[in-house]
Amino acid sequence: NLLKFYCISIIFATDMNKSTIENKIETATFGAGCFWCVEAIFERQEGVINVESGYAGGTTKNPTYEEVCTGKTGHVEVIQISFDPKSISYEQLLETFWKSHDPTTLNRQGGDEGTQYRSAIFYQNKSQKRSSEKSKNSVDSLGIYTNPIVTEITALKKYYPAEDYHQNYYRLNKKSPYCQFVIKPKLDKLKSTK
């Protein structure tokens, strides 16, 4: 009986530790242009555990990349970030979000054009909503941009992971022309502003 009690205690303690670890991980969802670029930027940040490309903000269930590219689904190319708030805060992620793209261009980032490339923050709770709005107001008040910020801040209703070939795109395709001429310069620029 003592051995049985000991085994049950270990199982319970293990489940408690898993639960505690899982509760410490938070999620952020941002749209800032092509998700290949945005994924490459955020996966380099300390405290970020995982970055996944996907779709949010639209009406079509389980959209495909081809459907999203038509602009008819209403989805944004987004990245969903799993992060450890003890290592990096949501506010620090927002700082990178603002630095990593032009939040004043409606439905476009560089040569990528369409509603799927719009600037968007999809908050997951009231705290993220407050932080996002405060951060947007702060960036706006600094007068960094001559044009108004058009970033939408809205509740995340549904997130869909993108197809496998979109995941870890930069890491797996560094030598491709898009990675060399679009993503790499963004990464270099961000590195130089740290």
Catalytic residues: 34
Listing DSSP states for the chain in one string gives -HHHHHHHHHHHHHHHHHHHHHHH-EEEEEEES-HHHHHHHHTTSTTEEEEEEEEES-SSSS--HHHHHTT-S--EEEEEEEE-TTTS-HHHHHHHHHHTS-TTSTTEETTEESGGG-EEEEESSHHHHHHHHHHHHHHHHTT--SSPP--EEEE---EEEPPGGGTTHHHH-TTSHHIIIIIHHHHHHHHHT-
